[in-house]
Structures are given as C-alpha cells and as structure tokens.
Chains A and B, each alone.
Chain A
Amino acid sequence: MPDLTLDGRPLRVADGTSVAAALALGGDGCSRTSVSGQRRAPLCGMGICQECRVRIDGRQRLACQTLCRDGMQVETRA
C-alpha cells in the first residue's frame, strides 16, 4: 500500500494503482492546466494523448503509465 503526496496532501492507495487513478482517488481527477487555462484529466489511458502529464518527484511524467510508489510527490499544478 504505497503512501504518496498529491498536491501536498497525503494519500494511500492499493498496490498497482496508477498515478492517473491516484488523481481521482485523492483529488478531482485533473492532471494539468491547458495553455488556455482549462483543467484537464487523463483521456486516452494509454500513453498517447499526454493530457495526464503531471510532475512526479520533480519530473514531467505520464500519470497513466506510472505506478504509485511509496514516498512519491505528485503535483498537478506545477
């Protein structure tokens, strides 16, 4: 059961949970803000659309292709 931080708030998820799922479990499901200021959420679920990109431990990564790990820091507004 990894413990992570989502936008500063602690969150515990089941093993094997994707970061995309963590966004919905611990927040409003959104991953990023678009160039015109709209909030967006994962769309394709398979590494194509890039809508799910978030900052994980300081690096831009795809939430749908990343599994939650203990101690991970996930930011959707960075």
Chain B
Amino acid sequence: MNEHTNLLIIGAGPAGLAAALAAAPRATRIVLLDDNPLPGGQIWRDGPQAKVPAQARQLREQVLACTNVQYYSGTRVIAQPGPDTLLVEDPERGWQIRYDRLILCTGARELLLPFPGWTLPGVTGAGGLQALIKGGIPVHNQRIVIAGSGPLLLASAATAKANGARVLRIAEQASGAAVAGFAAQLPRWPRKLLQSISLFDRQYRTASHVLAALGTDRLEGVRLKHKGKVVEMACDRLACGFGLIPNIQLAEALGCAVEQQAIAVDAWQATSQPGIYAAGECTGFGGSERALVEGAIAGCAATGNRQAAQQLWRRRARWHGFASALNNAFALDPALKSLATADTLVCRCEDVPYAALVGHRDWRQAKLASRCGMGACQGRVCGAATAHLFGWQPSAPRPPFSPARIDTLLCLEETGDA
C-alpha cells in the first residue's frame, strides 16, 4: 500500500500545521504525519486535563478540513528505503511514502541530564511532566519540585498547580542576573511579557540546581543546591529538564547539514538537500510563534510561492530575536557537568553507569565498549547527555530510526506505488 505525494510534512506541531495550511492552495496532495495520537505537537496537547487554545484549535481544524491534506496520526518514520522515499509505521501497518518535496517539522525534545537518582520512578522531564499531566496523570495534592532551566519550568509548574499539585520549588540554574536581563527585554514581545507575568511563581529561585533525587524504590525527596547551600525537601515528584534541543536525527540521516545542533536552513527554510525544507523548533529553539511563521514560510517556498514566503520574513526576524534572547539567558552552568557520580546510570536503556564512559575518546568508542546509546531510545537521551558532559558528537542515526516491527521492515523490499 505504498503512496506518492507532492508534499510530505513530518511533524504536526505548530510548524507542521502552518506549513500544511500555507502549502494547501498550491499542492495537489499533502501528507502530514506525526507520531502522537493527535495533531498539535508539544505545546497543543488535548487530554482529560488539558484544553487547546482557540487559535490552535482553529488552525488544526482548518488544516484537517483541506481535502488535499491527508493526516496520519500515531505514525513514525522508520527508514529511507530509496531516494525521496520514507518508510513509515503506524500501530497497524508499515508502508512507503514517495514525495516530491519534504518539510521536516520534527520539533525539539528536552535535554535530560543524569544526576544521582534520576532513574527513580517519580522523576520526569520538566516539559515531560506537563505533557504527562495533560494526558491525565493525577497530581492532585502531590508535592512537586521542578528544576532545570528555561521558561518551560514555569509553564510546567502552572499546569501542575492548575491540576491541584503543590509546587514546592522551581529551581532555575541560570543566575538571577541572567534571568532579570531576559525579563527586561520582554517588553519587545508584549505577548510573551503577558505570558510570563501570568506564569510567575513565588517558589521560583534562580542560581539553583538539582544535586540528587532521593529514595530507594521510588522518589521520596530531592537534594538541591541554592546559591551554594545544600537543601533537601521531601516530595512526590521531581520534574527536571535543562532546556530544549532540536530533533535533528531524521535530517542528519537524510544528509541535511546541521549547524549548532540544529538543522541548517536558508531564508526559504530550505536545507542543504534539494527538495527538503525544515521549520520550527528542529531548526532552533524559540517558541510556538517562531515555529508558526517558519512553517508558513516553508509551506509557501516548497510550493513555489516565493512572494508569499518573503512577506513573512520580517515576522520571522522578530521571533528570531526572541529566540536568541532566550538562548543567551538560559545558557547552562558548567557545574551541571559534575552532577553524575561513578554509579549514576547515563544510558537508561542499557543501564550504563558514568564510570563506564569516562576515559573514552568519543561517542563511537564509548558506544562500542559500553553499549551506551545502543538501546531503544537510540541515544536520543544519553547521546545528548554525553554531548553535554564530554563534548562527544553523536553519530547520525542508522535505520530503523525508531524501534519497528518486523512486518514493517519487510516493506523495505517493496518498490513502486500501489
């Protein structure tokens, strides 16, 4: 059951949805796919404990109403069986999609760094906790500590509180001066200023980071360092994330150039590979407004509407300014490189401790010697962690890009469209 499409879009977050809508008037057939059960990406998640904002709902409805847009949910990319072709899989089947143009809107994931106790049940990412709560995880009356870096900590705290949690502490690793400097620039983007005022929390502390998650079988408390002092708090959940990192694995596997850990694009959102565009957080972290405008530019450019694309450049420049202010303010403190101790597991898939990794020359050598990065997540967590800890460059992923069923891999053999 293979198929052909003029435009294939990977990821149905703000960037992918905006790209589809912008491309719809000029493309005969668009395929939009995403590995989540519903469109909306990281930020717009529906669930028993979440409602998507009206503007987002509208965008989603507009896209799904386009008769030339085919949307596949719960679908992930497994391999590249040939030129301009991807093998994909949903819960039921695997098949090949051949495309004329491709737009990568794969978004970003959280940077999760190892510290003692981080494998205990009860410890999650910061944005991770927000996503899990939106999906229905109960947090009513639970004591929650949120730690790490970036504005996502406040967003996650707001979701937890709205669902009845007691947020005991929000520990931001950046200095008070850095955060204040960022806040002082916010009036340039009034919408963001309003958002941050509404998110402000009395338990927010700067120059604060996690030292350890405490407990035996599950989380019982957390040890933090605040302005040089060590504090311990009993809690039910620790949500810890150190900012967002672009998802570049698929782009790398397709041969697209990468700059500063993000997919490199030109003014048209075109990558270094002919016919392949990229938009949104996979080209650099910067929030949903930036993702929306980049997606629209990519959708226009990929369907030959350069004039419409160019008209959006100014808006994009404005949100790129916001992105750089954000990234400068929340740069990571080198002290975070020494959180893991000898027996802290760095690779959670293969249970590889820190001690088994020190002394290796690079990612490849460490991987072969220790199995670090050879498990189910394929180095998406530990590869980013060791890049931060040791400066290793993870290698471009090999197929399957995510764990796949045998019957899907058998579709690699098929050629031609049905």
Contact = CB atoms under 8 A, between A and B. Distances in A.
Interface in B82-110: 91, 109-110
Contacts of B30: none
Contacts of A42: 124, 128, 132
Main secondary structure of the interface of B (DSSP, over half): loop
Nearest to A60: B403
Nearest to A63: B135
A18 B47 contact: yes
Nearest to B375: A50
A45 B49 CA distance: 14
* Chain B interface extent, by class: 35 or more
Interface string A31-56: 00011101111111111111101000
Interface of B: 35-37, 42, 46-48, 74, 76, 91, 109-110, 112, 119, 121-125, 127-132, 135-138, 217-218, 348-351, 375-377, 380-381, 403, 405
B44 to A, nearest CB: 13
19 contacts: A14-B48, A16-B135, A17-B47, A18-B136, A20-B135, A29-B137, A35-B351, A39-B217, A43-B124, A43-B348, A44-B110, A44-B125, A44-B131, A45-B125, A45-B127, A46-B128, A47-B76, A59-B405, A65-B36
A15 interface: yes
Interface of A: 13-18, 20-22, 24-25, 28-30, 34-36, 38-51, 53, 59-61, 64-67
A45 B129 contact: yes
Contacts of B36: 47, 65
Per DSSP, are chain A's interface residues mostly helix, strand or loop, or mixed? loop
B376 A64 contact: no
Contacts of B138: 21, 24-25
Contacts, number: 127
A39 B311 CA distance: 53
Contacts of B136: 13-14, 16-18, 21-22, 25
Contact of B37 (A40, A43, A45, A65): A65
A49 B42 contact: no
A76 B225 CA distance: 35
A21 B129 CA distance: 11
A65 B132 CA distance: 10
B380 A35 contact: no
A41 B122 contact: yes
A59 B127 CA distance: 27
A64 B137 CA distance: 10
A44 to B, nearest CB: 5
A24 to B, nearest CB: 5
B341 to A, nearest CB: 16
Given A18-B136, A65-B35, A43 B351 contact: no
Contact of B74 (A16, A34, A65): A65
Given A34-B348, A45-B131, A29 B121 contact: yes
B160 to A, nearest CB: 13
Closest 6 CB pairs of A and B: A21-B136, A18-B135, A45-B131, A41-B121, A45-B128, A17-B136
Given A60-B403, A65-B37, A66-B37, A16 B348 contact: no
